[in-house]
Structure 1
Amino acid sequence: MPNCDLEKKAFCCDICGRGFSQEARLKQHVRIHTEEKQYTCEICSKSFLGKGNLKTHIRTHTEEKPYSCDTCGKLYTRKENLTIHIRSHSGEKPHSCDICGKSYTNKKNLTIHIQSHTGEKQYSCKVCGASFPQMESMKKHIRIHTEEKQYSCEICSKSFLEKGNFNVHMRTHTGEKPYSCDVCGKSYTTKDNLTIHIRSHSGQKPYSCDVCGKSYTSNNNLTIHIRSHSGEKPYSCDVCGISFAQMPPLKTHIRTHTGEKPYSCEICDKSFSEKGTLTKHIRTHTGEKPYSCDVCGKSYTTKQNLTKHIRSHSG
């Protein structure tokens, strides 16, 4: 057992040797080993080591958020979460990686980042053996086996593993796009999509291919590109077996079997299997020709037609 420095810490854990300056903190720590959780929620029966943890948990039932940001008014259930949030306004990132110098607003994100250097994945799924660097990630993964999708949409009945994904999905019904670009005003349903979009203005492409060096604005686009080297096509049609590198082309392909055409023209009621085809069709009504030739100025409804025309100049 590790020795405790009694000169600095007055109270020592007999099990792991960890030291504490207060006896109350030691008693709370010991419960980690003894699994004594004496504070139980009367609503859902979940138990906790500390009274403070129970109090915070109860707010998930009452939806009480007593900590408010003076800058933007956002509310939080815990003071610690408010402190971390405030750093998004101040730009403060006090937790730095000793290996690469990258900084973070909270210690948890730093710990997760360090695992990208060490490759450590300390949480393993007992069902399939898959490993994860975070407990939260493993819990999300386990729902794949248990098929626990507790968040259901009352409009279309689609279910989700996580509340965050459910909230994003609801925006497809409401049309809400709360994240706006300060440069061009374009709005997005998620903060991640806004971040990726902003890179189209800054020119930043932080994700690079190790094979050819091509760079991308998002990790997802890089993953898709890498399949052009590996030949991997992980999305297969259950009807005919044809495979695709991405999910969207598979969904479009499946409509050739089902005959589904979910995109309808409001002007003439003609329907299409792809949104892009509908967009091109609408231009036959509006007369819009967004693709112009730099040589002669002639305009076209599609990029493909412009490309064909350009060849007439090159001979």
Structure 2
Amino acid sequence: MSAISVEISKDFKVCGEASSSNSKATNHRYSCKVCGKTYSSNVKAHMRTHTGEKPYSCEVCGKSFATNVDVKVHMRTHTGEKRFSCEICDKPFAYKSSVKVHMRIHTGEKPFHCETCGIAYSTSSSLKSHTETHNTENKVVCEVCGKGFANNYRVKIHMRIHTGERPFPCSICGSAFIKSHDFKIHMARHTGNKPYSCEVCGSSFVIKTHVQRHMRTHTGEKPYSCEVCSKSFTTNSILKIHMRTHTGVKPYPCIVCGMAFSNYSAAKDHLRIHTGEKPFSCEFCGKTFGNKSHAAMHMRRTHTGEKPYSCKVCDKAFATNAELKSHMRTHTGEKPFSCDVCGSRFSTSSNAKGHMRTHTGEKPYSCDICGKAFAGKSTAKVHMMTHSREGRYSCKVCGKAVSCKSVLIQHMRTHTENLNAY
């Protein structure tokens, strides 16, 4: 027994007077000699917060607790018992504290405020994640790439990117993962187990935090904002990736060609260009893709015709969120991509990259038939039609077929000056 617990058991401090027996002081308040807090009973249980003693253990998993009451509450994680329910929507919970947090969805209460920027949150964990966006002082640095982290554990996880270590293998398909979080999500694809669901639309998730993040699609909340351009985001991770557009940091290099990327998933997708791996397949035609989003985009454009992303200004619908974002710039006039050489600005990154080739002279797209090189993919595609006898565009006057619309317009001038008729 520790020195603290011996001292308390021998000499409780009761109302300023000493007593050698608990029974003599049942109607008094006890004062802890360590922290000064007072209790009407169970001072021994309080002392365990100082000694770290946990004499009660769970019979199922062996986890230890300071009090028997804590064990009983913990047992609900095994039994599935949910004694408490929401008075508004009747959703059941295992803990009273969970009901209190849940109620904030209905009341809109956000009692946790950021001392730096004033943004309010419904949970302390959300506030804690947010405050990290203000903390620019990283304590531990990766010896390979120099990236900074808050603690040694995060550096350890990050190092697996450099070493290639994947300690979480799937026993079903053989895939391996760097993080236990990613492994858990992957396994749910095999088992179909998604225990957390959205109260608004019913969508189910593997991770509880994913539900909280998903809820922002309904509330429109974007609690993470960029200190440079004030643009807001739904998650802290997306904000961190966005910040690299300002800093130019690209911490994920390709191990084959050295090309660097601002986020890990982009680097992972790029690597498949070298390996030829295409793990994502179309459910209809079996066509395979190296990128999950490309597979989903193919499904919508080729088979389902689904366009779930619509513009709130003109109601035009799109197959992907990226296409919607690009379209929105036609309304806002935003041109976030600039040329480093001449300063010209563009609404899409692809247009900016294409423009850069006017400075570099690069022509990465070549004709498979004659070998002629082009700066743009679309230009190469139009050129390829010149090798085909069948023209896509035909003249309404003489029937002549040509390979592209611009050539047709030029041809029409031989018939009329009135271009508006065509």
Q: How does 1:194-233 map to 2 (within 5 A)?
A: 194-228=267-301, 229-233=303-307
Query: Which amino acid in the other structure matches residue 314 of structure 2?
Result: C
Change over 3 Å in CA distance of 1:26–1:162 after alignment to 2: farther
Change over 3 Å in CA distance of 1:86–1:212 after alignment to 2: same
User: For 2:314, which of 237, 240, 248 is the aligned residue?
Assistant: 240
Query: Which amino acid in the other structure matches residue 136 of structure 1?
Result: T
User: For 2:216, which of 143, 147, 154 is the aligned residue?
Assistant: 143
> Unpaired runs of 5+ in structure 1?
1-9, 38-42, 49-55
Within 2, Cα distance between the matches of 1:62 and 1:247?
Answer: 31
Question: Deviations 1:52-101 (Å, cap 9, x if unpaired)?
Answer: xxxx99x979999888878778655475x666556656655554444444
Offset at 1:27? 7.0
Within 2, Cα distance between the matches of 1:258 and 1:19?
Answer: 57
User: For 1:170, which of 243, 247, 270 is the aligned residue?
Assistant: 243
User: For 2:376, which of 302, 306, 311 is the aligned residue?
Assistant: 302
Does 1:125 find its partner at 2:167? no
> Unpaired runs of 5+ in structure 2?
1-54, 77-93, 98-113, 116-122, 390-422
RCO comparison, higher one (Cα < 8 Å, 6+) = 1
User: For 2:62, which of 7, 20, 27 is the aligned residue?
Assistant: 20
* Residue equivalent to 1:3: none
Taking structure 1 as the reference length, what is the TM-score of the superposition? 0.69
* Residue equivalent to 2:257: 184
Query: Which amino acid in the other structure matches residue 307 of structure 2?
Result: K
Kept in 2, the 8 Å contact 1:20–1:26? The answer is no
Once the two structures are overlaid, the 10-residue window that deviates more, 251-260 or 212-221, is 251-260
Kept in 2, the 8 Å contact 1:289–1:302? The answer is yes
Taking structure 2 as the reference length, what is the TM-score of the superposition? 0.54
* Residue equivalent to 1:154: 227
Offset at 1:214? 0.7
Once the two structures are overlaid, the 10-residue window that deviates more, 259-268 or 183-192, is 259-268
Within 2, Cα distance between the matches of 1:260 and 1:98?
Answer: 48
- SS at 1:20 equivalent: coil
Question: Deviations 1:104-154 (Å, cap 9, x if unpaired)?
Answer: 456554443332222122112334433211112112123344544332112
Change over 3 Å in CA distance of 1:241–1:83 after alignment to 2: closer
Offset at 1:172? 1.2
Once the two structures are overlaid, the 10-residue window that deviates more, 264-273 or 102-111, is 264-273
Q: How does 1:260-275 map to 2 (within 5 A)?
A: 273-275=347-349
Change over 3 Å in CA distance of 1:93–1:24 after alignment to 2: farther
Change over 3 Å in CA distance of 1:146–1:223 after alignment to 2: same
Count of aligned positions: 289
Offset at 1:175? 1.7
Kept in 1, the 8 Å contact 2:223–2:234? The answer is yes
Kept in 2, the 8 Å contact 1:11–1:20? The answer is no
Offset at 1:202? 0.7
Within 1, Cα distance between the matches of 2:228 and 2:157?
Answer: 35
Within 1, Cα distance between the matches of 2:282 and 2:306?
Answer: 15
Offset at 1:282? 5.8
Change over 3 Å in CA distance of 1:310–1:128 after alignment to 2: closer
Change over 3 Å in CA distance of 1:312–1:187 after alignment to 2: same
Give the fraction of aligned pairs with identical amino acids, expressed as a percent.
43
Question: Deviations 1:196-242 (Å, cap 9, x if unpaired)?
Answer: 00101111111011111111111111111111211101122334333
Q: CA RMSD in A?
A: 4.5
Offset at 1:191? 0.7
Query: Which amino acid in the other structure matches residue 20 of structure 1?
Result: G
Kept in 1, the 8 Å contact 2:56–2:71? The answer is no
Within 2, Cα distance between the matches of 1:284 and 1:62?
Answer: 41
Within 1, Cα distance between the matches of 2:375 and 2:187?
Answer: 49
Within 2, Cα distance between the matches of 1:292 and 1:231?
Answer: 31
The structure that has the greater radius of gyration is 2
Query: Which amino acid in the other structure matches residue 310 of structure 2?
Result: S
User: For 1:250, which of 324, 345, 349 is the aligned residue?
Assistant: 324
Change over 3 Å in CA distance of 1:26–1:200 after alignment to 2: farther
Once the two structures are overlaid, the 10-residue window that deviates more, 19-28 or 170-179, is 19-28
Change over 3 Å in CA distance of 1:25–1:111 after alignment to 2: farther
Change over 3 Å in CA distance of 1:266–1:171 after alignment to 2: closer
